[in-house]
Amino acid sequence: MTEYSESDKKIILNAYKGLLRASKHARKTPEDTARIRKAFNVAADAHMSMRRKSGEPYITHPIAVARICAEEIGLGVTSIVCALLHDTVEDTEITLEDIESLFGEKERQIIDGLTKISGVFDFSTSDQAENFRKMILTLPDDVRVIFIKLADRLHNMRTLGSMRRDKQLKIGSETLFLYAPLAHRLGLYGVKTELEDLSLKYKEPEEYQEIETKLAKTKDVRLRFINSFTSPIKKELEKQGLKFSIKGRTKSIFSIWNKIKTKHVSFEEIYDIFAIRIILDTPVSDEKADCWKVYSIVTDYYRPNPDRLRDWITTPRGNGYESLHTTVMSPTGKWVEVQIRTNRMDEVAEKGLAAHWRYKENKGDKGSGFDNWINKIRDLVENNNSETLDFIDDFKLSLYADEIYVFTPKGELKMLPAKATALDFAFDIHSDVGIKCIGAKVNHKLVPLSHQLKSGDQIEIITSNKQIPKEAWLNFVVTSKAKSKIKQSIKEAYNKIAENGKEILQRKLNQLKVKLNDKSIYELVKLYNVKNFPELNYRIAKGKINLSKIKTIVDKGGELNYDLVKVVEPKKEKSTEEIIKTFGGKASETIILGDDSLKQVDYTFAKCCSPIPGDNVFGFITIKDGIKIHRNNCPNATQLMSHYAYRVLKVMWKSQKLKEFSAEIHFTGIDNFGILHSITDLISNSLNINMQSLNIGSNDGIFEGTIKALVHDTAHLDQLISKMKKIEGLNKVTRTS
């Protein structure tokens, strides 16, 4: 560290001491401490000339990642060493051979996996998706690669404030799209929650700040309520001689925001903003009995909601989560969720697979949820030849899903994602069973393949050797295994038909004395205006191609020449690549909507989110429709920014007061006499706004409706919403997504 300045040395040494404190549980011997020290020295020397965007010495980042691995995920010395070295091969002169000679073969394998998936994926669609795929491919081999990558992403998100706004949006979207669901599936609740919250902080800063402020204001009230609610329970637990701790867990900002958006409720209407967690210090052998004993005590004092009992102790979730949940009515008329678990269960809930490894020997078969999931991922990886983006989408299906528990005819328990169908169950039994499936019996009743299963169902699959997979099956299966196997089977059938078409084409070319080679294939693809040669062969086999047209392009030399066909040259449009070249790649380039910046380039407003001037927006380069303008909080924004970051453009509004845009407003209220007249009079007469449509319905004195109106910009829309809120009887007025 001789070349670091004195102030840098102080920062680095403080960070390193913090890492040593955090890794105390992992360092069992002096040799463990020496390995960490050695990795620190190697990384510090390698990164000596590098700095982060924030101006700090770069080595502070690997130290922070190693500390997250040790302190927040609970990983061991090998993972801490690899976290310290994770950027050395990618960014410095150190090679994988150096890593192996200095530390060992396992460290080399993990660093190699991390190097392959490094960086922010915003270079091109294929590179970005391939990097995601590489990360997933490492899962069955060594899950520590993913743990360290998640720690790396978490620290990058914590320090995202030093990045440009467009980078914040792209990285935040990517994190929300894949990394947070991956942390969820690996059982890292704390990491998953913070990744979601930080993504929201940068994607929707105003809404994040609003919820954070409201939580801070209501903190004291929540604490008083928790103390009052838990007081009688504490006394009874002590009387019974149980060792325990009680915590109040507040719902994450992202979860609250998501509930507001999906349930169309306000912050004040969310009743489960917090939950009570009772954690027992009890031997593994007594866990189940003691948890149910606590449940009995809680329900002696407070009446439970029978529909909200969740027993994840008898049947743990797929990510290893174990807990007993019940929702009870408090004396003040509020529903309160109570979670009952042991110290071991709590660690598994917070640190997921890392803690699962530690307890696996004591748990027997009950702890096999992770192993089953990893085996399914291995099967998906080894038997998947889909397009990369399809593979990513298939894999993502296995990340965020509630589970149901169903039974085979012999009583074997199977775990499937919620909304799984009878066909998903068939593929879960075996790929051949799924492919040959023609129907199913659920609880002894015949049901179609698309029948959605419920927990407790017993399923018998009916097969036939004559069955072949249908493309329509993809519309209702939800498991990644079913989707990938169906696509694979359809592709194999497609290729077989295409081979038959190729034989027919070969015979036709033989008649015309034309050779089948690269040049003739190129000319035929142009002649019939198809995407590629396999599609041409497929259409020939299906009888959709008139082969007699081929003789019209045979020249005197016996070769095919498409130029012999007289065609009218279409007007040349700018290609996607040309548009990207024009606008992409320049961080400072911003498109001004309403200016003449988009000469010869079409742009339209996306119907999925209907942006209007004043909205925070971005441009997305489509293949056929020019540039589409989306709101930053569009339902499709996260996927577009994470999958196709290189096609996302920075966009700003120029004043467009003379132009009108369609906006939709949703409202609810009490059905007072004349209220509809008040609404229409305000819009049409007082504000001179044109209405495109008005839909309204009433039920038991409560009405709700939607209005489509033409406004100039968000300020104009905000004015309309503000005025409507003042109409007596209206209790909620919001712009729809």
> Rounded to an integer, what distance in angstroms lies between the CA atom of residue 160 and that of residue 685?
48
Pairing of strands 603-605, 627-631: parallel
The answer to whether residue 127 is catalytic is no
> Rounded to an integer, what distance in angstroms lies between the CA atom of residue 108 and that of residue 115?
10
Phi/psi of residue 310, nearest 5 degrees: -125, 115
> What are the C-alpha distances in Å from 211 to residues 27, 159, 293, 714?
40, 21, 37, 22
Instruction: Of 251, 41, 168, give the one whose Cα is nearest residue 641.
Output: 168
Decide: 709 and 665 in contact? Cβ < 8 Å: yes
- Active-site hit among 91, 127, 212, 393: 91
- Active-site hit among 45, 90, 379, 535: 90
CA-based Rg of the chain, rounded to a whole angstrom? 30
Q: ∠21-27-28 over CA atoms, to 5°?
A: 135
What size, in residues, is the chain?
A: 737
Query: For residue 250, how many C-alpha atoms fall within 13 Å in the half-sphere facing its CB?
Result: 16
Contacts of 521-524 with CB under 8 Å at 24 or more apart are 523/553, 523/560, 523/561, 523/562, 524/550, 524/560
Decide: 196 and 204 in contact? Cβ < 8 Å: no
Residues 6+ apart with CB under 8 A from 696: 676, 703, 704, 705
The answer to whether residue 90 is catalytic is yes
The DSSP symbol for 176 reads I
Strands ordered across the beta sheet of 691-699:
691-699, 702-711, 661-670, 730-735
Residue 304, H or E segment: strand 303-304
Strands ordered across the beta sheet of 459-463:
445-447, 437-442, 459-463
Structural tokens at position 663: 């906006």
The DSSP symbol for 269 reads G
Instruction: Of 692, 697, 617, give the one whose Cα is nearest residue 653.
Output: 617
Query: For residue 237, how many C-alpha atoms fall within 13 Å in the half-sphere facing its CB?
Result: 23
Structural tokens at position 573: 């449009």
The DSSP symbol for 327 reads E
**E strand residue ranges, 379-488:** 403-407, 413-417, 437-442, 445-447, 459-463
Q: ∠642-646-649 over CA atoms, to 5°?
A: 100
> Rounded to an integer, what distance in angstroms lies between the CA atom of residue 502 and that of residue 516?
10
Decide: 724 and 687 in contact? Cβ < 8 Å: no
Residues 6+ apart with CB under 8 A from 372: 318, 415
Structural tokens at position 194: 């913070």
Burial of 10 (0-12, 13-18, 19+ CB in 10 A): exposed
Catalytic (active-site) positions: 90-91
